[in-house]
Amino acid sequence: MKQIAIIDDDVYIGDMLDELLRREGYGVLRAYSGTEALLLLSGQRPDLVLLDLMLPGLGGEEVLPHLAGIPTIVLSARADVGDKVRLLLGGAADYLTKPFDTRELLARIAVQLRGGPAAPQLLRYKGLSMDTAARTVAAEGGVIRLTRTEYAILKLLMQNPRQVVTKSQLLDHISADTPDCVECSLKVHVSNLRKKLRDAGAGDCIESVWGIGFKLAE
């Protein structure tokens, strides 16, 4: 089953799209803000994203670069040609102006999904690169062998490079896939991850924010 992520803070539109897509046989993921979308995508990779631009906090245009490799259809009330051109050149696969005909939306989704598998998503931070499709991490010293938990922690940090990721956010978004990571062991996993990154020549990449969580070093 193809998975489609709806990133829109308008509950009415989101619910309408949710019902429409499920009726057509798609699986649906939901996020109501840009930050929530990044956290959602840190643990799951949809086949396509429907992205609103006017999101609270982190806007749709700021989210778009994080969706590299995932076909993204922008749904927006902005009808200006300049906006459309800028977003299409910036990585959007398609742009549909609100209000839209659901039949047209379904047709555009079908066109994007029949194009074959999406290209691997590459995340980069300084000397680090992560291929989320192959689940590999590399630095100047070559491939870094990480445990499943270490990989999940680093992925969430790399998807939120300028933000502090709280301990509760880390646990909420990785514990389902990494049951060995609980609050009392989180520091140990982060410490082991730091050592592996240093040994691979990536330096001290992860900073602790006392009493809150962790972030990538500036």
7-21: pLDDT as tens digits: 999 999 999 999 999
Residue 128 · residue 157 · CB < 8 Å? no
Residue 213's contacts (CB-CB under 8 Å, 6 or more residues apart) are: 164, 165, 166, 167, 168, 169, 170
Residue 136 and residue 131: Cα distance in Å, rounded? 5
Domain 3-113 has CATH 3.40.190.10: no
Give the H/E segment covering residue 97: strand 94-97
Q: What is the pLDDT of residues 94-150, one digit of tens each?
A: 999 988 899 999 999 999 998 654 444 678 888 888 887 778 899 876 899 999 889
Q: Domain spans of the chain?
A: 3-113, 122-216
pLDDT, tens only, 29-74:
999 999 999 998 888 889 999 999 999 988 999 999 888 889 999 9
Question: Which residues touch 173 (CB under 8 Å, ≥6 apart)?
Answer: 39, 42, 43, 152, 156
Class for domain 122-216, per CATH? mainly alpha
> One-letter amino acid identity for 117?
P
